[in-house]
Structures are given as structure tokens and as C-alpha cells.
A and B are shown apart, each in its own frame.
Chain A
């Protein structure tokens, strides 16, 4: 029984992708987890993984072809169910970049993003020469081009979010003292490679809480809300030159801190190289954004559809804090929750944030 490998939707903001390269050929036996193809999306090149052991019968799409989500890319033989998440199969409605076929091929080879590139050819089409000129000039230019495409993707997804999701917000300031003390002690005796970043604690505390509050962890689709069986925690990662992507740390609630740290490190690196794996690019069930050292008190996030909640952490700042009736200087952290009112209400949101706070107060238990 052959079945189709379709272009999966790797995010709510993805409705098409360009097949860059096949890593398999007809007749290839592929094992679960093996990379079958590279697909270029607005968020960079993503590895298309095989989810079941299969044999490739036929490749249906030529490299260089831009196809809609849900398009069959290859025929696979094997007993298993379809290899990847199947998208809607909707037509690409976004206007295509006007570029000559030769320019498209060269752009792929040179790693130049066509989006946002000013074409000088007939009808304003991007030509070979345009691509080569861009490739010759500083690397900053294609990044800017790429960033423009990413910006467009973010714009589309966030607009949809604000259009469709009735957001509500809950805020809570958390005493980060216990966590900071624990972390300082933990890192003090370890070489740089084994140290933890504060972000790991925030992620783990959130993931653990999410397991107890499944109404914030899942997807809202045409069929309504369905909570996820796992906690794949999306991490908003800022890209240099602008833009943000939010790939997932898979099963974040089940992994010890010492494992989460290198996974987070790898995730950031892949995101910034524009080379995320398909399994992590689109699977987040709940997302966290952390502003780190930027000095903001708090951040009110916009939910990534089809998720139903997002946690935002401001910077850890020293602030006066009342302890046992006295004012002390403490490192504090502004935590915010944006959540989907179609699924939960503010009271539940406050409980969810409180549970995160509790987790951070006992970091040794994380």
C-alpha cells in the first residue's frame, strides 16, 4: 500500500514551502527520524523527517518547486500511517515572488532569499543578475531580505491571532530570589558547558505547570479545543537582524534541567542557522517568551495560533519586596499570561501563573 508524503504545515503561519533538496531517491529505504528532504519556508530551511520506516516509491515534486501545504511530495511504501501531519491542502494564496526561473535556481544555490528583493527584469521580476548582485554584496543584504519574508510571516500569523483569538491577560510578579540563589550555587561549581541559564528554570517551571493545567496546553481548531497529550514547549527565539521564531522543546515537562539546557542551546543554534527540524518547528503546544536581560518589567504576548496560551517573562530586576513586613531588595520577575478566552477564564489563568511561581520558589524540585 503506498501512501503520500505531503508537505506538512510546520506552523499556523506556513501555507507553502519550496522543496530545496531531496535526501532520498526512489527505492531508498528510510528509517523513522531520517531526513527525507529540505524544505525552505519563510522561517528558513527545515528538515522534513520520516515518521515511519518506509520505502520511497516515487518523488513527485522537483527541487525548486514551491508547493502548498498538503501537496503530495512523494509516494512511500510501508504499512504505516501517513508520515507527517497533513495540512489543509489549501491553494497558495499569497502572491508569489516574481522571479525568473533561472533566478530562482541561482537564489537557492547561493542561499539568497527572493522575498523582498527588488527585481530589475521585465515586469520587475528578479533576474539572475539581481540575485548575483545580492550574493556579491554583504551578507547583510540577504539577511534583510530573509527578515522581510519572516516579518511578513509573523505579521500574517499575529494578525490572524489578534483577529481570531479573544485574548485575556493575567500578570504576576514573582520573587526570583530562591531561584537565583539556587542557580548561582548550581553554576558556581560547574564548568561553563554544564551551567544553566535562568531561562531553563523558567521553561521547566512553565512546562511542569502546564501538565497540571491542560486547558492552556493544546490546540484550538475548527473542531474546538483539544488539549495536548504532551508538553512541547515553544521557545520564542529572537533572530539577529530581526524576527522571531518559536520552535519547541519536545516533552519539556519530562526532562531534567541538565538535559533541557543543551537542548535549548541546540534549538537556538538551529533556529539562528535557519535549519530547524520539522519535528520541532511546528509542534509547540504552548509557548514561552522571555525578554532576558533587556530590562523590561513584563511582556504581554500574542498567542501563536492554534495554541491557546502564551507565557511572557520580563527581565529579572532588583526591586523592593516586602518580606515578613519589611522591605527588602529582591530579584523579581514579571510573569504574564495571554490566554484564549474561548477556552479558559482569568481565574484559571491566575491559578496557572501561581503554579509557575510555586515551581520557581522550589527550584531544587524542578
Chain B
């Protein structure tokens, strides 16, 4: 399901920053470096993730949202954690 999550994250990313071309996003480079992401972008990104994926990223984990691969890995873990917690 990683591919699907990645494409959803990319969609959210372009929603937050409409001038970003999803096809050109480098997975391991910091968003800040790639497209001048700032705290407002991170804030918006977190809001979008919460709305679309239902994952509430706490403020202290915002640094996990700094690149595509890091973000996908984090959200993957968060989903698994949520699923397992809800199944118990």
C-alpha cells in the first residue's frame, strides 16, 4: 500500500503548495530545500494530513514531515500503530 500512500501524500503536498510539480519531487530531499517550505507550509501539510488521512501528527513530530520518504515512512508507522491500537 506504500505506493498508494505515497501518491496520496504527494496529492496533499501539491494541495498545500500548488506550484509544486508532483512528478519532480525528490523523495529524500528536504521540502524546505526543494520548494522553500516554511512553518506555515508544514502547518498546512499537517492539517491536510489530519483531514485526509485522519492522522494527527503532533507538533513535536513535525520534523518527520520534512521530506517525502520520511513523511511516508512516518505515516505508515502511524497507521499501523493506529490499526493495531484499535484492534486490541
> What is the interface of chain A mostly: helix, strand, loop, or mixed?
helix
* A348-B39 Cα distance, complex, nearest whole Å: 32
Given A268-B40, A292-B38, A293-B38: A192 touches B47 (CB 8 Å cut-off) = yes
Contact of A191 with B56 in the complex, beta carbons under 8 Å: yes
**What number of A residues sit within 8 Å (CB to CB) of B?**
24
Give the contact stretch, choosing among B16-24, B68-76, B79-87. Answer: B16-24
CB atoms of B38 and A192 under 8 A apart: no
User: Given contacts A188-B58, A192-B57, A193-B47, are A143 and B39 in contact (CB under 8 A)?
Assistant: no
With both beta carbons as reference points, the residue of chain B lying nearest to A183 in the complex is identified as B59
Contact of A139 among B19, B36, B40 (CB under 8 A): B19
Q: Indicate if B46 sits at the interface (CB-CB under 8 A).
A: yes
- Chain B: interface size category: 20 to 34
Within 8 A of B (CB), among A252-291: 264-265, 268-269, 272-273
24 A–B pairs (Cβ distance < 8 Å), ordered by A? A139-B19, A143-B19, A184-B59, A187-B59, A192-B50, A192-B57, A193-B51, A195-B46, A195-B59, A197-B43, A199-B39, A238-B36, A238-B38, A240-B17, A240-B35, A241-B36, A265-B43, A265-B44, A269-B44, A272-B19, A273-B18, A292-B38, A293-B32, A293-B39
Question: Closest CB of chain B to A210's CB: distance in Å?
Answer: 22
B49 contacts the other chain (Cβ, under 8 Å)? yes
Q: How far is the CA of A199 from the CA of B56 in the complex (A)?
A: 21
Residues of B within 8 A of A (CB): 17-19, 21, 32, 35-36, 38-40, 43-44, 46-47, 49-51, 56-59
CB distance from A331 to the nearest CB of B (A): 14
| Residues on the A chain within 8 Å of B35, using CB | 240
Residues of B within 8 A of A268 (CB): 40
The distance from the CB of A44 to the nearest CB of chain B, in whole angstroms, is 13
Which 6 residue pairs spanning A and B have beta carbons closest together? A192-B46, A192-B50, A192-B47, A240-B36, A187-B59, A193-B47
A269 to B23, CA, bound (A): 22
A191 to B49 CA separation, bound complex (whole angstroms)? 11
Tell me whether B21 and A139 are in contact (CB under 8 A). Answer: yes
* Beyond known contacts A195-B59, A273-B18: 14 more, CB 8 A cutoff: A188-B58, A188-B59, A192-B43, A192-B46, A193-B47, A193-B50, A195-B43, A197-B40, A198-B39, A199-B39, A241-B19, A269-B44, A272-B17, A292-B38
Chain B residue with the shortest CB-CB distance to A269 = B44
